[in-house]
Amino acid sequence: MKKRILSIMLSLLLVFSIVPAGVLAQEDSPADYGTPGVDYAEGEAIVYVDGGAAALNNTKSRSASAYETEELMTVETAAKPAAENSPMLRSAASQTGKSLVLVKSGQDTESLISDLQNNPNVEFAEPNYYVEAYGVNEPTDPGYKDQWALKNQLNNNDEQASNPAVDINAVKAWESTVTTGGTPVVAVLDSGVDYNHPDLENIMWTADAALQAKIGGGTYGYNAIPNEDPRDPMDTDIGHGTHCAGIIAAQWDNDKGVAGVSPNAQIMAVRFLGQSGGDTASAIRGYAYIQAAAKAGVNVVAVNNSWGPSAVEGRQLRSVSTVATAIGKDYGVVSCFAAGNSNTNNDLNSGGIVNSPYVVNVGAMDSEGYRSFFSCYGKETVDVFAPGSQILSTTSTDKKLAMNEHEMPTQYLPQIQEDKDSYFYEDFEKTTSKVDLRLLDADGKVVETAKSSALSPGYASSNGLQISLDSIKNGDAFAIEMVFNEMI
């Protein structure tokens, strides 16, 4: 570990990043696609084609008749797809009649893409990549005091302190914002949302029977995972989408949990990530649903995408860039994407992971304004840094998994979890600490041992262990040793 460079903090509506990391294959370098079955689905490709699936038969390839196709999304004004190796792409051109189509065949993916690119109707083809699970008064919710991202009380905002407090300046934004027009709807494209959560149930967007018949899905949104009920976007696996939804719009002033960044927004749940992740085809199905909702008159203003591929190998997601551009151009929807969690310079990945004039790429920072140790970065490809470490928010109440198996650890949520549901809260956050914490230098020598003490303001607990890193110089390696001693 090393001390982190201070990042400039800018305000942003959506403030969470959690899993993405790169992709876009160069068309002339098939080896850059990654590993079949690990980075992408073997024998599958996503194709941007003029004329839809039917146009894929217009080829001399003997394999064409064996294609299994699925129309994922019609790009109505067909924004020009993201160009490869173009770091500063920020433009879109209008065309017509193009669609993103999922193609499956018995071929390997490299051969399939090679055949598809011989079709004059095909704009581009890429693998189906796997992705992982990125003027009002202040709220009165009990957890608000611990939401440092909204109002950081570290050092009591002492500007002379060596470790400054930063946040998204939400209080001033709330004071100066005037809400006009219809209720804004934010689509959370993720693992779904727990629409029964007590801090979310009253801020969920809902579709009546007539709208469901028109755009598909169910009451609270859409499930894009094959072989699951498309009407039910419940977050049953990892709790990640629920966590993001709470950050964005958890209900204010209900004497429960936390407060969302937006006091007026509603959440549209779009599930495409399961316990084992998801793929770009399912993400595009999700975007197609959001597109249909916007076309039907739903006031969708943003899509939150805290996900991405698991490996950065100089590849991008051109298909996702294309749909984000299309929905932005046609309906004014902004797509927010997490920059990634692999501590990588995204500028080295030509053009970034998702590249569009309608996309904001967000890196993560901590409560002192430093880049979070896991966050990707890049002067050209990351637009803004926002709070992303130790963020208190809602988590799924689904009972299929034990709380300690959910993606969002319960130790971040002591205010909204029962003692009996949280091992960490019950055993290690009482007045007597049962944790040993030591700071070690590069040679393994103990530099400092932490003692139980009252924590600085802004943390989720009022008592615990904290250790200073002042004795570590910039560039020096160090380790923190933590030993849990359970009292029986």
- CA neighbor of 397 nearest in space, from 154, 197, 122, 226: 197
Cα distances from 257 to residues 143, 203, 400, in angstroms, run: 5, 14, 22
- Whether 410 is in a domain gets the answer no
What pLDDT score was predicted for residue 258?
83
What pLDDT score was predicted for residue 459?
44
Query: In this structure, are 306 and 454 located in the same domain?
Result: no
Note whether 136 and 174 are within 8 A (CB): yes
Note whether 101 and 52 are within 8 A (CB): yes
Residue found under tokens 């936390």: 258
Note whether 293 and 73 are within 8 A (CB): no
What pLDDT score was predicted for residue 402?
46
Query: In this structure, are 224 and 272 located in the same domain?
Result: yes
DSSP 81: P
| Rg of the chain, C-alpha, whole Å | 23
| Number of structural domains in the chain | 3
DSSP string of 149-209, one letter each residue: TTS--GGGG-TTSSS------HHHHHHH----SSPPEEEEEEB---TT-TTTTTTB----H
Query: In this structure, are 257 and 342 located in the same domain?
Result: yes
Query: In this structure, are 267 and 364 located in the same domain?
Result: yes
DSSP 455: P
What pLDDT score was predicted for residue 149?
67
The boundaries of the domain holding residue 188 are 144-387
Query: In this structure, are 357 and 448 located in the same domain?
Result: no
Write down which residue in 97, 130, 163 finishes a domain. Answer: 130
Give every residue of the chain whose pLDDT is below 50, as ranges: 1-31, 78, 85-96, 134-136, 351, 399, 401-431, 433, 456-461
pTM beyond 0.85: the answer is no
Query: In this structure, are 192 and 334 located in the same domain?
Result: yes
- Whether 415 is in a domain gets the answer no
Query: In this structure, are 437 and 308 located in the same domain?
Result: no
Note whether 200 and 394 are within 8 A (CB): yes
- Whether 221 is in a domain gets the answer yes
- The span from the CA of 437 to the CA of 483, in Å, is 7
Query: In this structure, are 233 and 120 located in the same domain?
Result: no
What pLDDT score was predicted for residue 394?
78
What pLDDT score was predicted for residue 436?
73
- Whether 175 is in a domain gets the answer yes
Note whether 112 and 46 are within 8 A (CB): no
- Whether 451 is in a domain gets the answer yes
Per-residue tokens: 175: 């004071």
Q: Can you give the length of the chain in residues?
A: 488
What pLDDT score was predicted for residue 180?
60
pLDDT tens column, 129-141 = 998 864 445 666 6
DSSP 274: B
Query: In this structure, are 193 and 83 located in the same domain?
Result: no
Write down which residue in 352, 369, 387 finishes a domain. Answer: 387
- Whether 215 is in a domain gets the answer yes
Residue found under tokens 């570990």: 1
Query: In this structure, are 184 and 326 located in the same domain?
Result: yes
DSSP string of 357-379, one letter each residue: TTEEEEEEE-TTSBBPTT--B-T
Write down which residue in 101, 130, 159 finishes a domain. Answer: 130
